[in-house]
Amino acid sequence: MIFDYFFFKFYNGILKSSLDFPRFGASLTFGLLVNVNIFEINMVLAKLDIFPFIYPDNKPILYMSTPIIAAVIFLLYNKNRIEAIKSKFSKDEFKPMKRKLNFAFVLYLVLSILAVYIIAWWKPGYLPKW
């Protein structure tokens, strides 16, 4: 449900902008953010010496992020799925949960962006330079 709601928020945001392709734009934006979160988790695990750093140069980033973004686009680009998500979140029974989900969405965005800087300044462990 939270996955669908985050996509719904991106979709509505792109609908309000002047872009002509809201389905693809929302799917791509959400796929990029999921990819950044996977990258951040890998960085934390590498700094804790739990898991190796899997992005030591630019080619693995391309090889790893392309399938992730493609999978998100594949899952969310379908027009019937978007219509189902829109109808699910426009019902009156959803109204009481809207404030909590909006808070979760904003918290997710802020933490996703801030985590890059927090991880970069965090000293334990070593990440190879690329």
Q: Which amino acid is at 47?
A: K
The tens digit of pLDDT for each residue in 3-32 reads 888 888 888 888 888 777 888 888 888 888
Domain boundaries, the chain: 2-121
Instruction: Please state, as a whole number, how many other Cβ atoms lie within 10 Å of the Cβ of residue 22.
Output: 17
Would the pLDDT of 45 be above 60?
yes
Least-confidence region, from 60-64, 84-88, 96-100, 115-119: 60-64
b/e 71-100 (16+ beta carbons within 10 angstroms → b): ebbeebeeeeebeebeeebeeeeeeeeeee
Of residues 124 and 54, the one with the higher pLDDT is 54
CA 88 – CA 82 distance, rounded (Å) = 10
pTM listed for this prediction: 0.73
Structure tokens at 105: 């969405």
Where does the pLDDT of residue 65 fall: very low under 50, low under 70, confident under 90, or very high at 90 and above? confident
Decide if 8 contacts 108 (C-beta within 8 A): no
CA 3 – CA 122 distance, rounded (Å) = 29
DSSP state of 78: -
